[in-house]
Amino acid sequence: MDERLKQRDYLLRISKAITAQLDMQAVLSLVIEYAVEIVAGNYGLIALQQQQDEEFHVVASYNLPQTNWATFEPLLRVLLAPNASADDSMWAARTAADTLGLPLRQVVALPLLLANTVIGLIVVFRAALNVAFTADDRVLLQAFADQAAVAVQNARLYERAVRESERLHAIIEEAADGVMILDSRWRITTFNRAMELLTGWSREEAIGRPCAEVVGLQTPNGENLCLVACPLQARADMSHPIAEGWMTTRDGRKRYLQTRYSPTRAPDRTFGGAIANVRDITAQKNESEQQLTFVSVISHELKTPVAIIKGYAGTLRRPDANWDRVTLDDGLQIIEDEADRLNDLISNLLDVSRLQAGSLPLIMAPFALPTLAERIMQGIAATAGPEFTFELRFAADFPLVVGDEDRIRMVLSNLLTNAVKYSPQGGTIRVGGWSEGDQALVYVADQGIGIARENQERIFERFYRVEGKLTRTTQGAGLGLYLAQAILQAHGSRLAVESQPGRGARFVFHLPLEHHQLPEGAVEPETSGPLGDGSMEEADRV
């Protein structure tokens, strides 16, 4: 009885030591070491069923190097066979012993059982030939094996949880959208790489801080949305509340963010934390605002000519008036001009629709660019006013270019119209060109108000208009440069701008020449470079 009590106490201490471990390999090493020690063995191995092939393979051993594990695979198959006898087991063990040159003279094997399912096998060998394993040895080892099965399963579950945690962390880290996890006090516990890029905060700085301090979306009146109307509090009845607003990143960028929360709540509905998915929708916000601006501008642009046409038509048809011919001609001319303006606007809108549908047709053919530019310039000069001077700067024998003449007419017309529109003091407007290799470079230059560097990329966006006093008082829908750029891109070209505020602007694009060389005697310009410290006069000198 004393011996049994000692064995149970020993078994309990061993079981506690094993179950205190969660690292799989450490648990397996302890299990086989203690299993050999319990029954005074010399060698041991433990095999587990592997998920990939559902076969049992050696995963840990005692006094047996890993290079020898494969030798025991036949023994495992015999031990696990339903009708295998003790003689079969000894024969398989001796075969392995002979192969390895080891004294494996006695063998005992017991399964690791979990809910009556075999998940593994403990095998212990003795080197002494005359010391056989007894029934008590088997009982003691089986009791240990039952405890070891629980420890192995716990280690497996822990290993699986660690893998899932690492997988989840990798998914969060590599997510395209920003992801942050908040605790019950609204403090950040997880902050992925996309959040670092969105906000300018490093995760080391962000973790532990309140989300209102790091994200801090602003309401339209400039208040911190997270402080005055936290969606997790204001919308506690919603399963996925959403917040949107502008924020200024740590590196000074203005971004419009949409945050979608997935909160957890206790049974009493108290806040227990949340996962926040953060998306940069600045482009969509700008597009939406431009659409609203577009609707407003287009409404004004459409209403104005319609109102003028209606007003003049109503006036001219008054039965109580007897208009002279000059008055009639003036009124009809205004009606015709406003109808043309309305037609141009509708044509632009149709072209925008074609561009969005990806169906802007081009009819490519050689044409004389100087002749086209001269006709457009004459038409615009006739209505521009005496404060403007127009100059055409092409060589007399400038070669033909290849393109869609009607589309290039629209490009030049938009550029010249803008040159007049944004030169309130008048000045000289030039259209010219030169050749470089097999390309013709064309420019339209003015001496107007110019364009600030930060606006020079955005002026080619659809519906975008530079904010300013002149812009607010000047008609336009923000489509001219967008269409011009799209037409040139369809030609394989691109519209570039060179400008300084208060010193005019020059727009340049290129078209292919019909002939790759200028005719003999053609004159090249002295400079085609970007604006220097001089005026537009200097930049356009030919």
- Between CA 507 and CA 415 the distance in angstroms is 8
- Between CA 28 and CA 39 the distance in angstroms is 17
At residue 171, the pLDDT reads: 86
Number of other residues whose CB lies within 10 A of the CB of residue 523: 13
- Cβ atoms of 222 and 205 within 8 Å: the answer is no
At residue 481, the pLDDT reads: 85
At residue 43, the pLDDT reads: 94
At residue 510, the pLDDT reads: 94
At residue 69, the pLDDT reads: 94
Which DSSP category does 512 fall into? E
At residue 288, the pLDDT reads: 78
At residue 521, the pLDDT reads: 41
- Between CA 50 and CA 423 the distance in angstroms is 80
Successive 10-residue mean pLDDT values, the chain, 542 residues: 61 67 81 86 91 85 93 91 82 90 89 86 88 81 82 84 86 87 89 91 91 84 79 67 87 88 82 88 80 67 79 87 86 86 76 66 89 90 86 91 90 90 89 90 91 80 59 58 85 89 90 64 38 38 34
User: What would the two tokens of residue 418 be?
Assistant: 């803008």
- Between CA 518 and CA 351 the distance in angstroms is 34
**Which candidate, 205, 225, 228, places its Cα nearest to that of 217?**
225
**Which candidate, 148, 399, 154, 184, places its Cα nearest to that of 273?**
184
- Between CA 215 and CA 224 the distance in angstroms is 9
- Between CA 460 and CA 355 the distance in angstroms is 14
CA distances from 213 to 204, 209, 327, 463, 515 (A): 14, 7, 69, 35, 64
What are the backbone angles phi and psi of residue 370, rounded to the nearest 5°? -60, -40
At residue 10, the pLDDT reads: 64
Which DSSP category does 138 fall into? H
Hey, what domains does the chain have and what are their CATH numbers? 2-170 (3.30.450.40), 178-280 (3.30.450.20), 287-357 (1.10.287.130), 365-539 (3.30.565.10)
User: What would the two tokens of residue 316 be?
Assistant: 């001219």
- Cβ-Cβ contacts under 8 Å for 424 (sequence gap 6 or more): 448, 449, 470
- Cβ atoms of 505 and 451 within 8 Å: the answer is yes
- Cβ atoms of 497 and 459 within 8 Å: the answer is yes
pTM for this structure? 0.49
